[in-house]
């Protein structure tokens, strides 16, 4: 009887540790994600952040120690509707695109061009443009349906 109680207690302890570990995982600001997680991106990128106001949106710009600038565009509802990057290193697109990353990978494989042409992906609700060469990368990704009505794609840069 004691063995069964100990086994059940250990099982419940493992479940509790698992739940706590999942809840403790950092959430990263990502395309379609919440603005409150931008600080986690700043920590993960080891960068500094500067917030500027646009007309009906905010731009959270993170500058990494290597000189890459990542701008996260946030609508009035607090949702990241666009990201843009520029610098000597590409940012972690899995981190920036979040749940849209797999859609981006699949669409980029289908639309792959020969040579060094910039990549342009428009798949469902996602638009991604990326290009450059070592020490000079730039790109942007956005969700047109989440953009404020006064924002155009050209403003995400």
Q: For residue range 91-117, what is the model confidence (pLDDT) as tens digits? A: 999 989 999 999 999 888 876 654 566
What are the CA-CA distances from residue 60 to residues 1, 24, 53, 101, 111 (Å)?
A: 58, 24, 9, 20, 30
Q: Rounded CA gap, 95 and 89, in Å?
A: 14
What's phi and psi for 37, nearest 5 deg?
A: -95, 0
The pLDDT tens digits of the residues spanning 64-94 come to 999 999 999 999 999 999 999 999 998 999 9
Q: Rounded CA gap, 99 and 53, in Å?
A: 26
Confidence category of residue 59, pLDDT binned at 50, 70, 90 = very high
Q: pTM for the whole thing? A: 0.76
The pLDDT tens digits of the residues spanning 133-156 come to 888 999 999 999 999 999 999 999
| Structure tokens that stand for 104 in this block | 């981006």
| Structure tokens that stand for 81 in this block | 């509707």
More confident residue, 118 or 9: 118
- For the chain, give every domain's residue range: 28-155
More confident residue, 35 or 113: 35
- Percent of residues, the chain, with pLDDT higher than 90: 48
């Amino acid at each position: 009887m004691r063995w069964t109680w100990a086994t059940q207690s250990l099982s419940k302890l493992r479940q509790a540790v698992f739940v706590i570990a999942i809840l403790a995982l950092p959430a990263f600001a990502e395309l379609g994600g919440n603005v409150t997680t931008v600080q986690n991106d700043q920590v993960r990128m080891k960068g500094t952040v500067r917030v500027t106001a646009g007309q009906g949106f905010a731009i959270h710009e993170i500058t990494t120690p290597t000189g890459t600038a990542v701008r996260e565009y946030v609508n009035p509802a607090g949702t990241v509707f666009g990201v843009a990057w520029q610098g000597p290193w590409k940012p972690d697109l899995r981190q920036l695109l979040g749940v849209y990353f797999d859609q981006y990978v699949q669409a980029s494989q289908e639309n792959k061009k020969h040579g060094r042409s910039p990549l342009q992906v428009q798949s469902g609700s996602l638009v991604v443009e990326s290009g450059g060469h070592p020490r000079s990368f730039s790109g942007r990704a956005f969700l047109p349906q989440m953009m404020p009505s006064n924002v155009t794609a050209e403003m995400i840069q």
